[in-house]
């Protein structure tokens, strides 16, 4: 169940009562939503038998009234709703989408339902509304797929009163985090190209403010410096094939460019097209490495050398870590850092001989 966080307007056709001076209770929610008190309780407990439109009406009434359920009102006999919340950003991209799918699968196997909210923007108000909604639904815990630093700051300020686990974003307050080893991946990609005899490696980085992009850029630079290689000025893309193509066109016109490392596969795909249009043969004249190993990477022309991120493992480990918190386990039973692996294909080759 994936939704976008929106402002909490009162349900259509119903007028909002003024509860100034008194705290709204479950009866008030039931009255405004036009349902029974038992139905409100089922929504709070994550009962899957409640129809989607009824569930939305109850949640809209909660937001309209500013209702915050007590633990006794929202808990099952076990003291839990058996429902987990997931906040994701840029959910259409391969990585977040694959991670979300893995979280859903692992949660179902553990006997939990998942309520996910896909954010279109990363501003504080939007993040806070998403947190409020999951809190109103009675989520036992929340996983935040939070790839941008400003999302992390907003989460830290939202003061979520349920256990939280983040992906790829350390909040700085002890909140558990799971992440892929972006530094190791960038180091492996850069070292691979240097090992093929390329004098240096140009880098198309992801956008500023994204933790994975910043870590890959820093590791690329450190690897070049450690090898005594020139460090070219990095180019900033936006994760899209279009940005990789636009930046790749400039690189393809420069004969000294023989190796390019892009921070994701989509941008690498754009570089491949730019090289093709410029008459620069890949990998004979230019070697290209991507990142993530999207399913299409092995079927590009040429097949793309890339760093494989196991997004399924990322989602599964984040779910395990959250359940550890809910169970009160001392220390995580799973490594919070997911290893990555360089997958060598036909888009890289030894550096061409100097002309």
At 297-328, the pLDDT tens digits run 999 999 999 999 999 999 999 999 998 888 77
Domains and CATH numbers, the chain: 26-78 (1.10.260.40), 83-175 (3.40.50.2300), 182-310 (3.40.50.2300)
Beta strands 305-309 and 340-343, pairing class: antiparallel
| CB-based burial label for 40 (10 Å; 0-12, 13-18, 19+) | buried
**What's the mean pLDDT in 95-109?**
91
- Please provide residue 247's backbone torsions phi and psi, each rounded to the nearest 5 degrees: -75, -35
Of 353, 304, 337, 354, the residue nearest 192 (C-alpha): 304
**What's the mean pLDDT in 347-351?**
98
Instruction: Record the tokens describing residue 230, joined without a space.
Output: 């020139």
pTM comes to 0.76
Q: How far apart are CA 348 and CA 219, in angstroms?
A: 20
DSSP letter string over 288-321?
Answer: EEEEE--GGGGGSSSPPEEEEE-HHHHHHHHHHH
pLDDT reported for residue 273? 98
Inform me whether the pLDDT recorded for 330 exceeds 70: no
Inform me whether the pLDDT recorded for 76 exceeds 70: no
Q: How far apart are CA 22 and CA 2, in angstroms?
A: 33
| CB-based burial label for 36 (10 Å; 0-12, 13-18, 19+) | exposed
pLDDT reported for residue 187? 98
pLDDT reported for residue 297? 97
Averaged confidence pLDDT in the chain: 85
Question: 107-121, 255-269, 296-310: which has the minimum mean pLDDT?
Answer: 107-121
The answer to whether the beta carbons of residues 32 and 65 sit under 8 Å apart is yes
């Amino acid at each position: 169940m994936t939704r976008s966080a929106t402002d909490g307007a009162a349900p259509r056709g119903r007028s909002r009562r003024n509860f100034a001076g008194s705290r709204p209770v479950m009866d008030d929610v039931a009255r405004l939503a036009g349902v029974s008190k038992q139905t409100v309780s089922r929504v709070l407990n994550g009962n899957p038998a409640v129809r989607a439109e009824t569930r939305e009406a109850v949640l809209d009434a909660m937001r309209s009234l500013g209702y915050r359920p007590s633990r006794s009102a929202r808990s099952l006999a076990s003291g839990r709703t058996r429902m987990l919340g997931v906040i994701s950003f840029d959910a259409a991209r391969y990585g977040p989408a694959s991670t979300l799918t893995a979280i859903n699968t692992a949660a179902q196997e553990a006997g939990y339902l998942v309520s996910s909210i896909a954010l279109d923007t990363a501003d504080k108000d939007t993040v806070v509304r998403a947190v409020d909604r999951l809190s109103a639904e009675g989520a036992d815990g929340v996983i935040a797929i939070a790839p941008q630093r400003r999302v992390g700051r907003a989460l830290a300020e939202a003061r979520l009163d349920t256990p939280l686990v983040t992906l790829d974003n350390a909040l700085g307050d002890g909140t558990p985090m799971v992440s892929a080893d972006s530094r190791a991946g960038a180091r492996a990609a850069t070292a691979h190209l240097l090992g093929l005899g390329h004098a240096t490696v140009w880098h198309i980085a992801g956008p500023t403010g994204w933790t994975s992009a910043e870590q890959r850029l820093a590791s690329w630079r450190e690897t070049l410096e450690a090898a005594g290689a020139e460090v070219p000025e990095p180019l900033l893309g936006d994760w899209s094939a279009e940005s990789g193509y636009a930046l790749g066109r400039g690189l393809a016109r420069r004969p000294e460019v023989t190796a390019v490392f892009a921070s994701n596969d989509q941008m690498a795909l754009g570089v491949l097209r730019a090289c093709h249009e410029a008459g620069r043969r890949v990998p004979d004249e230019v070697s290209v490495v991507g990142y993530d190993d999207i399913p299409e990477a092995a079927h590009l022309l040429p097949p793309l050398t890339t760093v494989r991120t196991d997004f399924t493992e990322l989602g599964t480990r984040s779910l395990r870590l959250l359940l550890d918190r809910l169970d009160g386990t001392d220390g995580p039973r799973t490594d919070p850092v997911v290893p990555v692996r360089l997958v060598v294909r036909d888009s890289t080759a030894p550096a061409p001989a100097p002309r």
